[in-house]
A and B are shown apart, each in its own frame.
Chain A
Amino acid sequence: MDAKTRDDLLGLFQSKLNEAMRFYLETCTRCGTCTEACHVYASMGQVRYIAAYRHEIIRRLYKKYFKARGKVWPSVGESKELTEMALEELFDAAYSCTGCRRCMLYCPFSIDTQMLMSIAKLLLIGAHTEPETLTMLADMSIEKGKSIEMFKEGFIQGLKRLEEEVVAKWQMEAGEAVIPVDVEGADLLYVALAGAHSIIPAAAVFNAAGEKWTLSFFEAVNFGAFVGDPTKTKLILERIVNEAKRLKVKEVCICECGTAYRVMKQLSGKQPFTVSSITDVHARYLKEGRIRLDKSKFNVPITYHDPCQIARNGGVIDPPRYILQHLTDDYRELSPEPAYNWCCGGGGGLVALGDETHDFRMKSARVKVDQVQGTGAKILTTACENCHAQLSDLNKHYKMEVDVTFLSSMVADALVPA
C-alpha cells in the first residue's frame, strides 16, 4: 500500500473518532465476557468471531497510528500496520458481523461492536475493497432520489396492478385511494420496499383502519448503512425526510425493514413528523379498535423473531407481542428475554449480498435454527425483510419445516371485515 493511500485511509479513520468511538477504542480489558455473545462464534467456535477479537483488529491500527505507544512501545498492545493484509482482516471482521449488538449485553463497558466495525467498513470503501453490490445498490437509491420524475410514471403504473390484487383479496370497494400516492396533507407516509409483499398487505390494513395515508415513492431500505458509508446513508435517508416534509405528514411509518427503521428513527433528527414501524402502527390500530383480527385464522403454534435493529436496537418489543395476542393463543417466545434473541445471521448487508454469503450465513446461524426448533412452533414470523430472507434460507437449508412469514401479512390475512 502506498503512503498516499494509507494517509487517505487514516484520514477516514480519524473522521470516525468521536467521543463514543474513543471510549470503545480505549477501554476494552479483553476480559472475554463477550465470548459467547456472538451467534457466529456460538455456531462456529472460531476465536476470530469473538466480539473482543473483532474489536482488537480495529484497535491495533488505532494503537499504531493514533496513540503515542504506536511509536514508543508498539509491542505492548500489538499495534499493527495498515497493509493490504490488514484490509483483508478488516473485511473478514466487518462482513462476518451482522451489527446485531447482542454483545453489548455481555460487555461490562458496553462496547458497541457495530460502531467499531463501521470503521472497518469505511476503510474498505476508501480502499475500494468493499462489496461492490452494496455500493451499487446505494448509488441506485441515491440516483432515484435525484431523478424521481423519471421513475414516477412507471411506479404509478405498477401500483395500479397491485391495487387490483388488494381489491380482489380484501373485497374492498375499488376507489381511487386503494394505494394513494403523493397525497399532500395525509396523516401517514408509508415507506415500503420494492416488492408487492411489502405494499399489498400494508395497504389492506391501512384502508381497513380508515387511515389517511400515502405511499412513498422511495423504498425504505438503506444500502448506505449496510455498506457503512455515512454520506450515502444520509442522502438515502433525506429523500424520505424531504418527501415527508413536502407532503406535510404527521407520521412516517417504516415497513418491515430493520435497518430502515433504525436509521429513520435515530438518524433523522428533530422533524415535524414522528417515526414509527408498521408493527407499532398495527398494534395501535388494534388497541384503538380500528381493526379486528380473526384468531382462528392460524391454528398452529407461532413464534416471533425480534429483528435486532427493531427490538434490541430500536425498542419495538411489546407491540409485536400485543399483535400476536390477537392472532393466536399459542404464542411461543424464542428467547426468555427478547433482548437476548439470537440474530438471524443475515444483517449488516449479508443477505443483500445473496449467494456470495450464503454458505457463511448458513454455518453462522446454527444457533438460530436450534432456537427456532426448540419452540416447536410451526409459524416463524418476523418484521424485517432481511430476517425474513435469511430465515427462509435457513428453513430450506436446515429443513426446519416452519412457515416463515411477515407479521404484517398475518395481520392482513386475519383482518375481520368491518
Chain B
Amino acid sequence: METLSYIILVPMVYLAAAVFVIGTTVRLVNIFKAPKHPTTLQIYPAKKPAWLWALHDTFLFPTVRRHKPLLWVFLIIFHACLLLLIIGHLELFGDYPILQIIPHEIFLGKGMVGLLTALSLLYFLFRRFRSPVRELSVPEDYYLLILLFLVVLFGSQMDWARNWYYYDGMTVDDYRTYLGSLIAFEPYLPASVTESGHSFMLLLHVFLANLFLIFFPFSQAMHAFLSLPMNKLRRG
C-alpha cells in the first residue's frame, strides 16, 4: 500500500503534469501552425470591437444563455467554480498575496464550491442520458464527466470534513509541505498525508485527477484553449 500511494502521489503526479503541459503545448502548436483559412468566417451583422465580443462569447456563453437557459445556469456555475477551485489549489502550493486581494480562508468557499461543481457535473451527466443529447454523445463525453465528478467528489470530501465536521487530521500546512516538496523536486510525504483518516480520499482524488490531466490534451476539454480563437473567427 505504501508503494502504491507513493507511486500515485509522486511519480504519477509528475507524469500527469508533464503530459498535460507538453501534450497541450504540442497539440496547440500543431493546430496553430496549420495554414489560416483564406476567407472570413464571420457571421453578420458584425459588432465592434470584434475582440471584445469574442471575449464576451468565450466567457459568458451568450448563445447558450439564449437557447438553453437552464444549461447556461449550470455552465456558468461550473466554470466559475472551476476558476475558484484553481485558485484554491494554487493556494495549497504557497501564499500568493495577489490571490488574497479579497481575504478568505484556504480552501475558499466553505465547501460550497465543491458542492456546486459536483451538482453541475451531475446535471451535465444526466442530461446526456436524454435524447437528443444522448444520440450526439460519444463515450469520451461520459468518461470525462464521470471522471471529473469523482475527482471533485473526493476532493470536496476532504474540504467538507474540515469545514463542516471540524476534522483536522490533514491541514492546509500538510498539503503545502507535500506539494511544496514536489515543486522543489524533493518529494516528501508527511505522515499526516499518508496515514491520517483521510489519506485514502487524497489518494483517490490525486489518482483520478492525474488521469484527467493525462487525458486532457487529447480530449474535447481542449475547448478551454480553443474557444477564444474560434469565437474570434465568428466575430471577424
Is chain B a partner of chain A in the same complex? yes
- The reply to whether A21 and B44 contact each other, CB–CB distance below 8 Å, is no
- The reply to whether B136 and A76 contact each other, CB–CB distance below 8 Å, is no
Q: Mark B125-157, 1 if CB is under 8 A from A, else 0.
A: 001000111011111110100000000000000
Q: Does A319 contact B (CB under 8 A)?
A: no
- Nearest CB to that of B218 among chain A residues? A69
- The reply to whether B37 and A20 contact each other, CB–CB distance below 8 Å, is yes
- The reply to whether B34 and A77 contact each other, CB–CB distance below 8 Å, is no
- The reply to whether A52 and B136 contact each other, CB–CB distance below 8 Å, is yes
Majority secondary structure of chain B interface residues (helix, strand, loop or mixed): helix
| Option from A20, A78, A314 in Cβ contact (under 8 Å) with B139 | A78
- The reply to whether B227 and A18 contact each other, CB–CB distance below 8 Å, is no
* Chain B nearest Cβ from A314, distance in angstroms: 7
* Chain B nearest Cβ from A58, distance in angstroms: 13
A271 and B133 alpha carbons, distance in the complex (Å): 46
* Chain B nearest Cβ from A238, distance in angstroms: 14
- The reply to whether B44 and A30 contact each other, CB–CB distance below 8 Å, is no
- The reply to whether A266 and B40 contact each other, CB–CB distance below 8 Å, is yes
Q: Mark B204-236, 1 if CB is under 8 A from A, else 0.
A: 000000000000001010110011011101100
Which A55-111 residues have a C-beta within 8 angstroms of B? 56, 67-69, 75-78, 101, 104-111
- The reply to whether B68 and A33 contact each other, CB–CB distance below 8 Å, is yes
- Nearest CB to that of B220 among chain A residues? A29
A26 and B222 alpha carbons, distance in the complex (Å): 7
- The reply to whether B57 and A108 contact each other, CB–CB distance below 8 Å, is yes
**Complex contacts, B41 vs chain A, CB 8 Å:** 20, 112, 115
- The reply to whether B44 and A314 contact each other, CB–CB distance below 8 Å, is yes
CB contact under 8 A between A109 and B137, given known A28-B220, A315-B45: no
- Nearest CB to that of B236 among chain A residues? A315
A104 and B44 alpha carbons, distance in the complex (Å): 11
Chain A: interface size category: 35 or more
A314 and B131 alpha carbons, distance in the complex (Å): 34
- The reply to whether B34 and A19 contact each other, CB–CB distance below 8 Å, is yes
Q: Does B32 contact A (CB under 8 A)?
A: yes
Q: Does B3 contact A (CB under 8 A)?
A: no
Q: Does A22 contact B (CB under 8 A)?
A: yes
- The reply to whether A68 and B218 contact each other, CB–CB distance below 8 Å, is yes
CB contact under 8 A between A30 and B141, given known A104-B234, A339-B44: yes
| Option from B31, B38, B143 in Cβ contact (under 8 Å) with A26 | B31
**Complex contacts, B39 vs chain A, CB 8 Å:** 266-267
| Option from B136, B218, B234 in Cβ contact (under 8 Å) with A56 | B136
| Option from A20, A33, A315 in Cβ contact (under 8 Å) with B233 | A20
**Complex contacts, A398 vs chain B, CB 8 Å:** none
**Complex contacts, B68 vs chain A, CB 8 Å:** 31-33
- The reply to whether A19 and B63 contact each other, CB–CB distance below 8 Å, is no
- The reply to whether A339 and B31 contact each other, CB–CB distance below 8 Å, is no
- The reply to whether B137 and A23 contact each other, CB–CB distance below 8 Å, is no
- The reply to whether A106 and B223 contact each other, CB–CB distance below 8 Å, is no
**Complex contacts, A311 vs chain B, CB 8 Å:** 44
A115 and B37 alpha carbons, distance in the complex (Å): 10
- The reply to whether A21 and B37 contact each other, CB–CB distance below 8 Å, is yes
Q: Does B71 contact A (CB under 8 A)?
A: yes
Which A105-129 residues have a C-beta within 8 angstroms of B? 105-112, 115
**Complex contacts, A69 vs chain B, CB 8 Å:** 218
Which A331-352 residues have a C-beta within 8 angstroms of B? 338-339
- The reply to whether A22 and B34 contact each other, CB–CB distance below 8 Å, is yes
**Complex contacts, A30 vs chain B, CB 8 Å:** 133, 136-138, 141, 220
**Complex contacts, B220 vs chain A, CB 8 Å:** 26-30
| Option from A17, A47, A106 in Cβ contact (under 8 Å) with B63 | A106
**Complex contacts, B135 vs chain A, CB 8 Å:** 47, 50, 53
- Nearest CB to that of A112 among chain B residues? B41
- Nearest CB to that of A36 among chain B residues? B67
* Chain B nearest Cβ from A209, distance in angstroms: 26
- The reply to whether A27 and B227 contact each other, CB–CB distance below 8 Å, is yes
A112 and B231 alpha carbons, distance in the complex (Å): 11
A36 and B42 alpha carbons, distance in the complex (Å): 21
| Option from B34, B38, B46, B132 in Cβ contact (under 8 Å) with A32 | B132
- The reply to whether A18 and B36 contact each other, CB–CB distance below 8 Å, is yes
A77 and B68 alpha carbons, distance in the complex (Å): 25
**Complex contacts, B137 vs chain A, CB 8 Å:** 30
* Chain B nearest Cβ from A125, distance in angstroms: 19
Between A and B, 29 residue pairs with Cβ closer than 8 Å are A19-B34, A19-B36, A19-B37, A20-B41, A21-B37, A23-B229, A23-B230, A24-B230, A26-B220, A26-B223, A27-B226, A30-B141, A33-B63, A33-B71, A47-B136, A50-B135, A53-B135, A56-B136, A56-B138, A77-B140, A109-B226, A110-B43, A110-B231, A115-B41, A314-B44, A315-B42, A317-B44, A338-B45, A339-B45
Sort A-B residue pairs by CB-CB distance and give the 6 closest, nearest first. A110-B234, A315-B44, A32-B133, A20-B37, A266-B39, A19-B34
A26-B222, A108-B61, A267-B39 are known; give 6 further A-B pairs, CB within 8 A: A20-B41, A22-B31, A28-B220, A50-B135, A77-B140, A315-B46
